[in-house]
Structure 1
Amino acid sequence: MKIVIAPDSFKGSLSAIEAARAIEGGIKKAFPDAKTLCIPVADGGEGTLETLVAATNGKKVPVNVTGPIGQKVEAEYGILGDGKTCVIEMAKASGIPLIPREELNPLKATTFGTGELIKQALDDGFASFILALGGSATNDGGAGMLQALGLSLLDEQGNKICTGGAELTKISSIDLSEFDERIPYCKFLIASDVENPLIGPHGASHVFGPQKGATPQMVKILDASLAHWADEVEKVTGVHLHDLPGAGAAGGIGGAFQAFFPSQMKRGIDVVIEHTGLHTALEGADLVITGEGQVDFQTASGKTPMGVAQAAKIQNIPTVIVAGSIGTGIDVLYQHGIVSVSSIINKPMTLNEAIKNAAELLAESAEQVVRSFFYHQTLNSGKVVR
């Protein structure tokens, strides 16, 4: 019996690595002799850096940068095991977890620290980058990142504007003369599962702004700011970001990469699967177990469990999902090789209780899932599963 364990993180409670170990513990309780392979994964959001570094035996480099509301934070970038590829996870420098919830303010939040991370990696000699865009607290169109890399955003008086999403309406011209000259000679692979345009009802501000503390009035201001930003960017680059797929990723930083960097956007889970060797690990497997904190209809749009299930389906391997909670619209998942979706919650409990006991709950759920799955396999095949 071979089981591949490939979960994402359970946000607020378990990293992907910790989740994989918990699932493995539950499996071993049911089937001590089972062969298990733990392949923690991510979809381009928080945890992507740790996953890629661990999978390739790489390392992390600490860097002090500017946080999303101007505070100093200790961030880091990753170096893959090849020693040549740098991983930048923008949440490390510009993420929601860096700000107390009551201080979230996308009108002022900046991606400047993400730009500082990139600049430090450039200074350290890297020219190949993977950029994970999930978990940002920002809605500045990536302007702060560009400012950190030398781009000058000028108002009508020729003065540099400040950072933050609301400042974008002040831009009268964009000066590229001091933009980091090394960037055109580098490769940037953007790991993101977001295909939203920059502006409009499906754009960065309307869809993701409220998660970052934006009120309905703020959303209107931010959307107008990004529209003006897109107009100014098009004047100097010729790139029409307004309705460009993926431009709305991470508060519009996806658009900044498409306009100013030699970049390619790719589904985050596909980037991680490629670097973790999941396809090879799946060979000969009887079952795949994946999971994350919340599973619902959005999971089908490229989240970790869907990407894992699609990879497993190529080899005709069934996939089961264990999740912290289950939302609406999961029926669509059963069309993609997923045979069941289970919640780890086994009795009424508060969110804090679930988070505190996540590892134990996940192990218990995994044990029951494999017992049930292989019992039915035994009935169908007539063979005893060991």
Structure 2
Amino acid sequence: MKVLIAPDSFKGGLTAKQAADAIEVGVLRAMPQAECVKIPMADGGEGTVSSLVEANHGELRHAEVTGPLGKPVKATYGLLDNGQTAVIEMAQASGLQYVDGSSIQAGQATTFGTGELMLAALDAGARRLILGLGGSATTDGGAGMAQALGVHLRNQAGDEIGFGGIALAQLDSIDMTTIDPRIAKADLLIASDVTNPLTGPNGAAYMFSQQKGADAQLQQQLDQNLAHYADIIAQALQIDVRNIPGAGAAGGLGAGLFSFTPGQIRPGVALVLEMTKLRQKAANVDLVFTGEGRIDEQTQFGKTPFGVALAAKQAAPTAPVVALAGSVGPTTGVIRPDGIDAVFAILPGVETLPVAIAKAAENLTRTAENITRLVIAKP
């Protein structure tokens, strides 16, 4: 029996690789002779670097960059294709893990370190950049990223504006003459499933800045500043980024990438599926395991398990696709003939969250073993 194992991470408990390893242990307990094909997955956010490095036998690199609050942080990125392709998670440089959720920090957080991480990858020889958006602490429209790449964002006095979405109110002009020339030549793919515009009720500030610490007053101010930022970009670069789908991703980093780089946005799961060659590896499998921390009705909207299921069914239409989760909500629209066939919660009973996280690997292994035994027992 050939088994494809392609889970996302169980956030707070297991990385995608750890989850895949735990499922494999269960499968082999039930059928020691099974051939397991493990592909740790991601959706363009956390885990994308490790997933693509593992699938493509790449290497991890490290760089010290500017964190969202201006302090140095250590970030990791991946190199594939003999160093020609770099995989970057913006959260490694500009993520929520570096802030405490205060309004002051939400207004000041910068993507400068993300730009520095892009430059580090170019310095390492990469000519293709895959940039995953997600988990950002920022709402600066990618202004910090642009500054790191060499773009000058100036106020009326001709001085460089400061960091963060608050500082965008001072923006008066944009000077692109000193941007790193390698940016224009780079093949830049933006991995994101967010389709929100830059501004307005569904924009970066109103939809996402609250989780970064912004109160109602700051949300309004950030939205106004992003609108002003879009106006200056339109005047200077003749690009209207305000309503481009995905411009609001990662606190408006999408807008910055559309404005200052040749980046093209791709759905995160689709890009990872392509880069891991999951469809090819799923050919002739007899059983598919996927999963993540929670599966519910939202899983069908760009989440990893659903993307894995659709791709696997195309390659192996008769193979059952089983999704494992720490918790399961309503699954209307998730279980369907061309996708996920069944969803299982891995908890054996009522447990506190800390216990469930601590036992995630054990619970995954046990559940995968029992499901595999059921599949092989089928006449």
TM-score, normalisation: structure 1:
0.93
Deviates more, 1:96-105 or 1:212-221: 96-105
Q: Aligned pair 1:292/2:307, yes or no?
A: no
Q: CA deviation at 1:298?
A: 2.5
Question: CA separation in 2, counterparts of 1:354 and 1:153?
Answer: 48
2:143 corresponds in structure 1 to 143
Judge conservation of contact 1:149–1:179 (CA < 8 Å) in 2: yes
User: In the alignment, what sits opposite 1:340?
Assistant: 342
Q: Contact 1:312 / 1:318 at 8 angstroms: preserved in 2?
A: no
Ranges in structure 2 where 5+ consecutive residues have no aligned partner:
none
Measure the CA separation in 1 of the matches of 2:92 and 2:249: 16
1:1-386 to 2 correspondences below 5 Å? 1-101=1-101, 105-315=105-315, 316=317, 317-328=319-330, 330-335=331-336, 336-375=338-377, 378=378, 383=379
Matched to 2:329, the amino acid is G
Query: What is the CA distance between 1:52 and its match in structure 2?
Result: 0.8
Structure-2 change in CA distance of 1:218 and 1:342 (3 Å): farther
User: Which digits, 9 at most, give the CA deviation of each residue in 1:35-92, with x for residues without a partner?
Assistant: 2111111110011011111111111121111111111111122101432111111111
In terms of mean alpha carbon deviation, does 186-195 or 363-372 score higher?
363-372
2: CA distance between counterparts of 1:56 and 1:25? 23
Q: Answer yes or no: is the 8 Å Cα contact 2:279–2:314 preserved in 1.
A: no
For 1:356 and 1:106, locate their aligned partners in 2 and report how far apart those are by CA, in whole Å: 31
Cα contact 2:79–2:126 (8 A) shared by 1: no
Deviations 1:188-241 (A, max 9, x none): 011111111111122122222222222222222221121111111111222211
User: Would the aligned equivalents of 2:101 and 2:211 in 1 still touch at CA under 8 Å?
Assistant: no
DSSP-derived class of the 2:82 partner = coil
Q: Deviations over 1:5-36 (max 9, x none)?
A: 00011111111100000111112222222221
Distance 2:219 2:60 in 1: 36
Find the aligned partners of 1:27 and 1:355 in 2 and give their Cα distance. 21
Aligned residues: 376
- Looking at structure 2, the residues matched to 229 and 373 of structure 1 have their Cα atoms a distance apart, in angstroms, of 56
Q: How many angstroms does 1:134 deviate by?
A: 1.5
1:365 CA displacement:
2.1
Moved more, 38-47 or 119-128: 119-128
Q: Name the SS of the counterpart of 2:335 in structure 1.
A: helix
What letter corresponds to residue 331 of structure 1 in structure 2? T
Q: Offset at 1:184?
A: 1.0
Question: 2: CA distance between counterparts of 1:321 and 1:106?
Answer: 36
CA distance 1:81–1:54, change in 2 (3 Å): farther
Structure 2 distance, partners of 1:3, 1:84, is 31
SS of the counterpart of 1:333? Answer: coil
Instruction: Summarize deviations over 1:351-375 as a string: whole Å, max 9, x none.
Output: 1111111111111222233334444
In 1: Cα distance, 2:233 partner to 2:103 partner: 29
Alpha-carbon separation, structure 2, partners of 1:34 and 1:125: 40
What residue ranges of structure 1 are gaps of 5+ in the alignment?
Answer: none
Residue-by-residue CA offset, 1:119-176 (whole Å, 9 max, x unaligned): 1222333221111112111111111110111111111222211101111111111111
Aligned partners of 1:373 and 1:80: how far apart in 2?
37
Letter in 1 for 2:227: A
- When structure 1 is superposed on structure 2, of 339-348 and 3-12 the one drifting more is 339-348
C-alpha change, 1:103 and 1:97, in structure 2 (3 Å) is farther
| Structure 1 pair 117–85 and aligned structure 2 pair: CA distance change class (3 A) | same
Superposed CA RMSD in Å reads: 1.7
